[in-house]
Every structure is written in structure tokens, then in C-alpha cells.
């Protein structure tokens, strides 16, 4: 299954968990707010199958549900990079 991902940054509380669990997939800005790095948080490029396990760990443990996933690319208006 093809999967797209992004962080809805207004929901992120800068807890640091996703970057710890999936360092290839998430990074933080100067305020600690996360973004999804493989496609600059646009949610438009499919997640690599090799990164699926790490992504699922971060996705399921994000305390606020800020990490989003979809079987379709996210629309530009959904992107709060
Ligand atoms: S786990 Fe969720 S709340 Fe924590 S930094 Fe990542 S996106 Fe933000």
C-alpha cells in the first residue's frame, strides 16, 4: 500500500518523540516543531517501504496525533509546512 505522510505542525507540541523514533523521517525547527523531511512536509511523495516500520512507530506514539497519513497525496491546502 502506498502511504503519504506529513506533520500538521499546529498540533505538534515539540515533544521530540518522532525524531527519536524515526530520525530519517522527522526533524525540528528552532522551536522544536516537527516536520516530515522526505518531501519537505508536503505529503506528496510516497513513503519508502524501507521506512515504514519507523514511520508507524512515530505515527502511533505521537501524543497529539499531529503526524498524519493518507493513501493519497495531501492537497496543498492541507500543508502547513
Ligand atoms: S511526536 Fe508528535 S508532538 Fe512530538 S514532536 Fe513529533 S509530531 Fe510533534
Q: What is the pLDDT of residue 67?
A: 98
Domain boundaries, the chain: 4-78
By DSSP bridging, strand 4-7 and strand 67-70 are antiparallel
CB within 8 Å of 77: residues ≥ 6 apart: none
Closest Cα to atom 3 of ligand 1: 12
CATH code for residues 4-78: 3.30.70.20
- Would you place residue 71 in the very low, low, confident or very high pLDDT band (cuts 50, 70, 90)? very high
Q: What are 67's three cell numbers?
A: 503526524
Centre of ligand 1 from the C-alpha of residue 60, in Å: 11
Q: pLDDT digit string (tens) for 21-64? A: 999 999 999 999 999 999 999 999 999 999 999 999 999 999 99
Q: Which residues pair with 35 in a beta bridge?
A: 27
The dihedral sign for the CA sequence 8, 42, 20, 34? negative
Closest Cα to atom 6 of ligand 1: 18
CB within 8 Å of 53: residues ≥ 6 apart: none
The verdict on pTM exceeding 0.75 is: yes
Amino acid at each position: 500500500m502506498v502511504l503519504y505522510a506529513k506533520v500538521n505542525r499546529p498540533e505538534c507540541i515539540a515533544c521530540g518523540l518522532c525524531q527519536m523514533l524515526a530520525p530519517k523521517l522527522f526533524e525540528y525547527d528552532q522551536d522544536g516543531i516537527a516536520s516530515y523531511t522526505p518531501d519537505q512536509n508536503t505529503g506528496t511523495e510516497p513513503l519508502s517501504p524501507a521506512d515504514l516500520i519507523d514511520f508507524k512507530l512515530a505515527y502511533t506514539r505521537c501524543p497529539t496525533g499531529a503526524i498524519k497519513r493518507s493513501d493519497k497525496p495531501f492537497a496543498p491546502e492541507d500543508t502547513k509546512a
